[in-house]
Amino acid sequence: MMQPVNKAVVQIVFVIPPRVHLLDITGPAHIFYEALSYDAPVKLHFTNIQAHEKSIESSSHLSLSELVDFNSLVLHKGDIVFVPGLEASLLLDEHFLQVSSRPIQHWMTQQHENGVIICSVCTGAFLLAQAGLLNQQPCTTHWKYIERFTLRYPQVQVQQNRLFVQSGNLYTSAGVASGIDLSLFLLEQLFGTSFAAQIAKEVVVYMRRTTADPQLSAFLQYRNHLEDRIHQAQDILAQSLDKKTNIEQLAQQVHMSGRNLTRLFRKTTNISISQYIDLLRKERAQQLLREGHTMQSIAALCGLKSTNQLRQLLKK
């Protein structure tokens, strides 16, 4: 694997709130662990919200122990603080938001003023907003909590259907998986595109997403159903965008007739197979464009006959 360019050690701090969502921590933490295992100069810390707390129970009832006191950490410009999401009940707890979490909010504000990068995953954005860090700033959070967030913090410029949003050295992300995408994005900023891409491959996250990507990817939409044969067909289509689609061959792979597959696909997803393929190809093409691929190579990778066909698809 390509080694990162030598530079000063970057400290990555995970603030652990009560009833924390485990994947909001473990997803980003694992990305930086993999980077560390390939000699990236990073150091991970896991800290409490209140100085007396040495362990915290997660929302999954798994406890995290030996947390360090955030007041003992000495951070520098360019270090990173992650604030993961937490249970919805705490977002309605005024004592938690205004009293018990106040020390960590003040600490984060000081770190931000010193040039430390502050990141939130999912509902962690509530703590950043409560600290006043997001006032008049664009941000995002999990789609389910956007209305509640907007009502509570009208001074914040909430961006809907965004995977993660950057505003200076503030980053807010939409949900569990987006914390991984944000971590890879930060690795790219720190150590370059090639290193971040190889870490993504190491953790089998081949389709890295960016600040411009929607929360609900076309690769994830139209999957909220229980029809196994259609799920199988969708998997095959997503993995073979560079090939011409043959409905009869696809139907054989999922043990159906072409006519039955076409009918059941529309009934299950409310769109046709061709419409679904167009959505997948368009999203894939947009990603490849952002990565700097040529129009000719994108057309080939998306199973299109020409660049004109690609342009028509992108205009849809």
Burial letters 94-124, b for 16+ CB under 10 A, else e: eebbeebbeebbebbeebbeeebbbbbbbbb
The pLDDT confidence band at residue 216, using thresholds 50, 70 and 90, is low
3-class SS at 83? strand
What CATH architecture is 228-315? Answer: Orthogonal Bundle (1.10)
Grouping H, G, I as helix, E, B as strand and the rest as coil, residue 105 is helix
As a whole number, the mean pLDDT across the chain is 87
What confidence category does residue 205 fall into, taking pLDDT thresholds of 50, 70 and 90? low
Residue span(s) of the chain under CATH 1.10.10.60 come to: 228-315
Start-end of CATH 3.40.50.880 domains in the chain? 10-202
Q: Give per-residue pLDDT as tens, 82-133.
A: 999 888 888 889 999 999 899 999 999 999 999 999 999 999 999 999 999 9
One-letter amino acid at 213 equals D
Each residue of 223-272: pLDDT tens digit?
767 688 998 899 899 889 998 889 999 999 999 999 999 999 999 999 99
When mean pLDDT is compared over 185-194, 200-209, 248-257, 289-298, the highest value belongs to 248-257
Q: For residue 195, name the pLDDT band (cuts at 50, 70, 90).
A: confident
Class of domain 10-202: alpha beta
Q: How far apart are CA 78 and CA 145, in angstroms?
A: 29
CA distance 76 to 215: 31
Q: What is the pLDDT of residue 174?
A: 85
Measured CA to CA, the distance from residue 191 to residue 307 in angstroms comes to: 33
- Of the two residues 222 and 98, the one the predictor is more confident about is 98
